[in-house]
Structure 1
Amino acid sequence: MQKLTRIITLSLALLMISGCSYFGVYKRDLPQGNLVTEAMVEQLRPGMSRQQVVDLMGSPLLEAPFDARQWDYVYRLDEAYGGVEQRRVTLTFQGERLAGIEREGNLSSDIQLPEDQGAGPRVEGTSDTPIEPIENVTPDRP
């Protein structure tokens, strides 16, 4: 009976330990928010209308719910095997015109974004070259 209890205990212990092993987890970069670059911010000028700002920067990520004078453009890149980079540009309006620009983070460094490879996994046996359409061909008839 003791031998059976030891075997069961050892088996359970090995089973529990095997679940705690680390084989490696795939991670990927996680970009979030509005990508803000130095070139975009340099084009902003006090006196621009809200629509001109939207045309240049896109829609803001955050609009202050109780104060419509402030727009925040936030970008955060959580690198898979590295650190976190965060950029923030806060725009303040007086009426419908841009009045103030505040920057936070290093806007001058380039961020390499992965190329869009489409949704879902790549199907085995396919290539990246586009398929050319077949021209209208009429079959030869005798």
Structure 2
Amino acid sequence: MIKTLNFRSLSSASAVRKIAITSMLSAAVAMSGCSLLSVYKIDLPQGTAITQTQAQKLQVGMNQNQVLYILGSPAIKDTLEPKRWDYIYDYKAGTEGRRKGIADVKNASQHLIVYFDDNGIVTRIEGIDSLPAS
């Protein structure tokens, strides 16, 4: 015996609901490629951020402890050249940094070098001009 198929008609409310669900799913899939739903990236500072104001407090004749107090630990203390301390700063803006409009600092463009004599006294300071004013 052959049965006939009977199609029941959809009510207009259920048809509208199915269309709404389909369009919402389509919109969600389409927006998944947008930047609004991107992964949060952290700001990546590396080194010691020093300003010209801080660096100008350094004076020839200070000892290493005074330099540490003013600037903090250097990024590089080379064992082959222990009389030289390098303060290097790089910054890569993440999500928050981009929102605030903070520019990236690349390739150690902020580089302060402090030279000492055999007794640990500052003899020369280089790179103050490469530091930001504030």
With the length of structure 1 as denominator, give the TM-score of the two structures: 0.55
What is the deviation of 1:83?
A: 4.6
Matched, 1:84 2:98: no
Q: 82-91 or 29-38: which moved more?
A: 82-91
Matched, 1:28 2:48: no
**Counterpart secondary structure, 2:124:** strand
Task: Work out which structure has the larger RCO, using CA pairs closer than 8 Å and 6 or more positions apart in sequence.
Answer: 2
Within 5 A, what are the aligned runs for 1:100-111?
Answer: 100-103=124-127, 105-108=130-133, 110=134
Runs of 4+ in 1 over 4 A off after TM superposition: none
Q: Decide whether the 8 Å contact of 2:54 with 2:70 is kept in 1.
A: yes
Residue type at the aligned position of 1:76: D
Matched, 1:64 2:88: no
Give distance in 1, aligned partners of 2:103 and 2:51.
Answer: 19
Matched residue, 1:73? 87
With the length of structure 2 as denominator, give the TM-score of the two structures: 0.58
Structure 2, unmatched stretches of 5+, are 1-28
Matched residue, 2:121? 97
Q: How many residues are matched?
A: 90
Larger helix proportion of the pair = 2
What is the deviation of 1:93?
A: 0.7
Q: Decide whether the 8 Å contact of 2:50 with 2:131 is kept in 1.
A: no
Structure 1, unmatched stretches of 5+, are 1-17, 111-142
Which structure has the larger Rg over C-alpha atoms?
2
Calculate the aligned-residue CA RMSD, in Å: 2.1
